């Protein structure tokens, strides 16, 4: 089961108790995966929705039943051979359909929604066309949550949806993809907050577990990279010291230096692969003391070369 499916199953565990919230949820779903038929000549008013998930379809049929005490009819069943599943379309064009559509369309962001209805609308929209991906181990993929609008006024619906997210301090972006408008969140914090807002508690728990594991892995990688970087710098420093001290020795200058400096230089020349700590231990001095002597030798070498 992918993470999007886990979120959806979390969201359909219950139908909202308040009628206004049921209408808002249905409005969000129809704005992303439905269509309206209003005032068409020779055709009855009504609405329909399409879903590839039987679980979501049953949930939405239950919402409509609870709201209007009517049953929606199966209009079409198309087999999606690529994903090996059916795409089901349900519609209602019976008595009072125009009244029902008026009630539903009243519950959208453009018309103003209370907080409870706003959360329900977000839930319905995600059920309709939302998806969420988590970073995969061993890849550079990141967090991504999106909701796609491809209705007649998709540009306005997407912008209204983005503004609705702003109410909950969720900063989203909108991008055009073909004929659709996509509202998306990419930060870990924003996606976590979205799951909290829509009440997907179980999915949020999974999300936080994955996030924590990824953060721990990133920290380990940073430590490894830092260690590797330090090792590279130490190796370069060792090579530079060997070259400098060998030049002092060839010039006959090393033997004229104080014995502690000679010992430090000879230790580095004899053991270029050793770390500073290992060299210091071999000489019976502190790492700080050895580092001071090596710096002094490098300065003398630079001054001699300059002269």
DSSP letter for 43, please. S
Q: Where are the alpha helices (DSSP H) in the chain?
A: 3-11, 19-33, 54-68, 97-106, 115-129, 154-167, 188-197, 201-250, 259-270, 276-283, 287-306
Residue in 232, 304, 294, 231 with CA at minimum distance from that of residue 266:
294
pLDDT, tens digit, 9 for 90 and up, residues 119-172? 999 999 999 999 998 877 655 568 899 999 987 788 889 999 999 999 999 999
CB-based burial label for 68 (10 Å; 0-12, 13-18, 19+) = buried
CATH number of 3-199: 3.10.28.10
pLDDT band at 223 (very low <50, low <70, confident <90, very high): very low
Is 54 a residue whose pLDDT tops 50? yes
Buried b (16+ CB within 10 A) or exposed e, 131-161: bbebbeeeeeeebebbbbbbbeebeebbbbb
Domain ranges of the chain: 3-199, 229-306
pLDDT value of residue 80 = 65
pLDDT value of residue 227 = 47
pLDDT, tens digit, 9 for 90 and up, residues 227-254? 455 556 777 777 788 888 888 888 888 8
pTM above 0.75, yes or no: no
């Amino acid at each position: 089961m992918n993470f999007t499916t886990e979120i959806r199953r979390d969201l359909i565990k219950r139908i909202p108790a308040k009628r206004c919230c049921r209408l808002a949820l249905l409005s969000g779903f129809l704005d992303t995966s439905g269509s309206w038929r209003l005032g068409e000549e020779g055709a009855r008013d009504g609405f329909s929705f399409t879903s590839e998930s039987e679980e979501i379809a049953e949930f939405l049929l239950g919402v409509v039943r609870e709201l209007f005490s009517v049953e929606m009819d199966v209009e079409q069943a198309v087999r999606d051979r690529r994903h090996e599943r059916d795409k089901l379309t349900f519609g209602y064009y019976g008595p009072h359909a125009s009244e029902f559509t008026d009630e539903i369309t009243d519950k959208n962001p453009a018309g103003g929604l209370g907080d409870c209805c706003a959360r329900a609308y977000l839930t319905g929209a995600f059920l309709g066309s939302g998806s969420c991906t988590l970073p995969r181990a061993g890849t550079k993929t990141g967090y991504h949550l999106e909701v796609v609008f491809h209705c007649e006024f998709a540009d306005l619906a997407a912008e209204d949806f983005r503004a609705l997210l702003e109410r909950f301090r969720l900063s989203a972006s909108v991008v055009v993809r073909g004929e659709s408008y996509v509202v998306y969140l990419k930060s870990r914090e924003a996606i976590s907050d979205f799951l909290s807002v829509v009440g997907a508690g179980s999915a949020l728990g999974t999300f936080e577990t994955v996030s924590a594991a990824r953060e721990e892995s990133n920290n380990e990688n940073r430590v490894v990279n830092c260690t590797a970087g330090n090792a590279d710098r130490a190796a370069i420093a060792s090579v530079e010291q060997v070259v400098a001290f060998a030049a002092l020795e060839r010039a006959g200058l090393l033997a004229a230096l104080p014995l502690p400096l000679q010992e430090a230089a000879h230790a580095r020349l004899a053991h270029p692969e050793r770390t500073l700590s290992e060299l210091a231990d071999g000489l019976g001095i502190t790492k700080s003391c050895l580092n001071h002597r090596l710096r002094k030798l490098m300065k003398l070498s630079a001054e001699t070369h300059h002269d």
